Amino acid sequence: MPTIPPREGHNVPVTPLSRARNALIATLLVPALLLAGCGTDSDAKPKAEPSADLPTGNVEVPDGVELTEAGTELKFTEPAVVAYEPNTQRSSVLSLSVDSIQEGKIADFAAYQLDDRTKKSRPYYVRATVKNLGTGDLSRAAIPLLAVNDKNTQYQPSSFNNNFALCPSLPLPAGFVGGKTVQGCLVYLIPDGGRLVEMNYRPLQAFEPITWQGAVLPPVIEKKKTKKKKKANP
């Protein structure tokens, strides 16, 4: 069986202002809440201990490859080795690491037509490294990382069908077979001004997630250019 469940919720299309009359040309898909029951305002996050092996489903794990246990807590750049089966036709073993997280600005999406709730979101750019350690082809599969906010609720990354240069938020590339490595950037829009506090890999709710934590970088503040004063002629 697949070790990653089908995505839940719905997507809200956000169109560039210049293309508002043709919404199919370029859109930003803002995913809704992925797992509605995984956190509330009053929930306290339980302390997890790495003690259980995550299920591998139909994934063939190469000899000598040791999978990371459920509940493992990692720092940025530390890899987790996981069995990944996005559907029953494709599967492999991945090395996943969260390299950095940087808070963005909603002004970064000024070229897009945002609804009122999305305008109140707090964007984050998550850079990750993914290596295919197995034998399967994971071309165009989603990078299986979820963002967790300060209320212990998980969110999927947003996706684009046009080029968002700051952080493309793309799936794994074509030809992502055994031995291939990719460094990607994923966009997460945390609603209602919430804050991203950690990333995780959680194939099934019955198991504790593998998590990554570290210092979140602040938004990049562009310096205003000052005009140079012309020197007066002597």
Question: How many whole angstroms separate alpha carbon 191 and alpha carbon 102?
Answer: 16
Question: How many whole angstroms separate alpha carbon 221 and alpha carbon 208?
Answer: 37
Q: Is the pLDDT of residue 57 over 80?
A: no
pLDDT at res. 9: 32
Question: What one-character DSSP code corresponds to residue 193?
Answer: G
Q: Is the pLDDT of residue 206 over 50?
A: yes
- Residues in a beta bridge with 92: 84
Question: How many whole angstroms separate alpha carbon 133 and alpha carbon 122?
Answer: 34
Q: Name which of 91, 85, 51 is nearest 68 in CA terms.
A: 51
Q: Which two tokens stand for residue 222?
A: 């562009």
Q: Is the pLDDT of residue 116 over 50?
A: yes
Ramachandran bin of 225, using left for φ above 0, alpha for ψ from -120 to 50, beta for the remaining angles: beta
Q: Is the pLDDT of residue 48 over 50?
A: no
pLDDT at res. 203: 86
pLDDT at res. 157: 95
Domain 11-38+51-213: top CATH class: mainly beta
Residue spans of the domains in the chain: they are 11-38+51-213
Taking residues 206-227, report their average pLDDT. 86
pLDDT at res. 184: 97
